[in-house]
Structure 1
Amino acid sequence: MMKSLQLHSTHNTIFALRVSSLFFLFSSLTSHGHPIKAHIFIYAGCSQEKYQPGSTFEGNLNSFLSSVVSSSSQVSYNGFAVGNGSSTPQEGTIYGLFQCRGDLRTIDCSKCIESAVNQISLVCPYSYGASLQLEGCYVRYEHMDFLGKIDTSLRYKKCSKSVSNDVEFFRRRDDVLADMESATGFRVGSSGLVGGFAQCLGDLSPTDCTSCLADAVGKLKSLCGSAAAADVFLAQCYAQYWASGYYDLSSDSSSEDQAGKTVAIIVGVLAGLAVMIVLLSFCRKAMG
């Protein structure tokens, strides 16, 4: 179901945070009562080009974000085209999408998307293009039509500490990764004590999905080597694996981690200052 949107060509700067970051931590529950940290911030990308407050683009962006939240209560993926009709100025058009992890219940998907929508404007204020990945969901919008166009650029990686020469582990890991590589949507796999996830965005064809995941699996092996657990997020798909008992949240991740931490701290400080200013303003009015 396509709704109306568009964007300009934007250059994204990727800010990555470790999965263990304390930036916007929430949790949701599965139907079995076990916690899923679906709302944990993973990475964000923001265009360098900015729109003006009160512009047509801002109005269409608000419409897009509202539609994303509303749609997530019914489906786990949707693409949008907002303001791309002949009566709308080209600078106001937006293309965007959202997607939840395939194993999330509808209610948890909706909560995750709502959290992502609340965060994306804080992390990427006045940006003509932005993407935000949480543990359980993803939101992206641009000023040009990117939907369905293959993009396997690396957005985020996280590699745990290496394991010793454990032949059985690597055999199990390779079995899981081979299974992930052949997915055409969302897949959960396991072999012994090794498990994994893989998923493509819903705008990819089955062939392009398989191609994207093959690239993601290749990067898992080349970038993370003998890591006991690893995550690789490309622009349109991701693959993850882990060994029971090995997942180390303090492990190495992409080189953008420090930049991401800085962004998180700045956003937090600015938000706190904004709250203080508002409170002081109310206090002055009350006293005056």
Structure 2
Amino acid sequence: MDSSTNSYTLILCFVLILQSVNTLIIDGHHKLIYNQCSNQSTSLIPSRSSLLSGLFQEFIAQSSQSRFFQTIVADDETAISGRFQCRNDLTPGECRSCVSNFQALSEDLCGKHLPARIQLSGCYVHYQEEDGGEADPGPDRVLHQACSKHRVKRNGFEETKYAALAALESCVVSGNGFCETTYEAIHVVGQCAGSLRACDCGACVDSAARIAEDECRYSVSGEIYLDGCFVSYEYNGGHGFGSYSFEGMNRAAFLLFSPFKPC
């Protein structure tokens, strides 16, 4: 085998590796976090099924241009409102790839019943019949929460987590509804629904952060999804919490340092 053949083989291998890495990154946005489907036993009539299919196709078309979109599709009989949102750090191609999953997932998970919400790691979709009588629950309704079973038992961990979440609240508001950052060794992410005002966004993230503080004590990671926002954190290790202690500081006193103030 000559040198040109070896060079070609190396280049081909490199391209395949890049494609594999890219596929892994994209697939990482498609993980199912949770789904909420109507418990009604009646399926959509054919016209409504057609409307829903059209809604998903419009979502796919819009996802290359915007990370948040909401609309209403209707015929002479009914109207269906829906919205999707991608994480702000997704590229247009990644957003489209994520949103493209929803039509099949809707059929598999919810059987085309309304209302429904499907949350993937990179995007979510929510749709409902306009005259379905579903009251607006407000942005603070808890949709999903999960805390790691792995725990960190070190002095200062909880206080550092509180500080990371408090910093996240301020960052999300100043970052137009999205923030991803690391505080000490704790990686935090937060995002609000694109329809929320800055004040409501801050209040929603504050509520989610408090749930994470209360429900995920000493957990190395946690994620809280509310109707209007989500918050997640993950401890990456490598921080010597044993070098200092906040054992004398209670939670109420620490929250005085929270940068969010009600509007």
Are 1:230 and 2:236 counterparts? no
The alpha carbon displacement at 1:34 in A equals: 5.6
Q: Which residue among 51, 57, 79 is the counterpart of 1:60? A: 51
Corresponding letter in the other structure for 1:151: P
Question: Counterparts of 1:99 and 1:55 in 2: how far apart (Å)?
Answer: 27
Instruction: Within 5 Å, give how 1:1-288 maps onto structure 2.
Output: 29=22, 37-49=28-40, 52=43, 54-83=45-74, 88-89=76-77, 92-144=78-130, 150-160=138-148, 161-167=150-156, 169-182=157-170, 183-184=172-173, 185-245=177-237
Question: Counterparts of 1:157 and 1:127 in 2: how far apart (Å)?
Answer: 24
Structure 2: state its 5+ residue gaps.
Answer: 1-19, 239-263
Say what the alpha-carbon RMSD is for the aligned residues: 2.5
Count matched residues: 212
Question: Counterparts of 2:125 and 2:44 in 1: how far apart (Å)?
Answer: 21
Structure 1: state its 5+ residue gaps.
Answer: 1-26, 247-288
Say which SS state the counterpart of residue 29 (structure 1) adopts. Answer: helix
Percent identity between the two aligned chains: 26
Structure with more of its chain in helix, by fraction: 2
Aligned structure 1 segments of 4 or more residues deviating by more than 4 angstroms: 33-36, 50-54, 145-149
Q: Which residue of 2 aligns with 1:16?
A: none
Question: Counterparts of 2:162 and 2:222 in 1: how far apart (Å)?
Answer: 13
Q: Which entry has the higher C-alpha Rg, 1 or 2?
A: 2
The alpha carbon displacement at 1:151 in A equals: 2.8
Contact kept, 8 Å, 2:30 with 2:98, in 1: the verdict is: yes
Question: Counterparts of 2:160 and 2:88 in 1: how far apart (Å)?
Answer: 23
Q: Which residue of 1 aligns with 2:10?
A: none
The alpha carbon displacement at 1:80 in A equals: 0.9
Q: Over residues 44-80 of structure 1, what are the superposed CA-to-partner deviations in whole Å (9 max), with x where a residue is unaligned? A: 0001235545432212111111101111111111011
The alpha carbon displacement at 1:202 in A equals: 0.7
Contact kept, 8 Å, 2:70 with 2:83, in 1: the verdict is: yes
Corresponding letter in the other structure for 2:110: C
Contact kept, 8 Å, 2:162 with 2:213, in 1: the verdict is: no
Corresponding letter in the other structure for 1:210: G
The alpha carbon displacement at 1:235 in A equals: 1.6
Q: 1:170 to 1:59 in 2, by over 3 A?
A: same
TM-score normalised by L of structure 2? 0.73
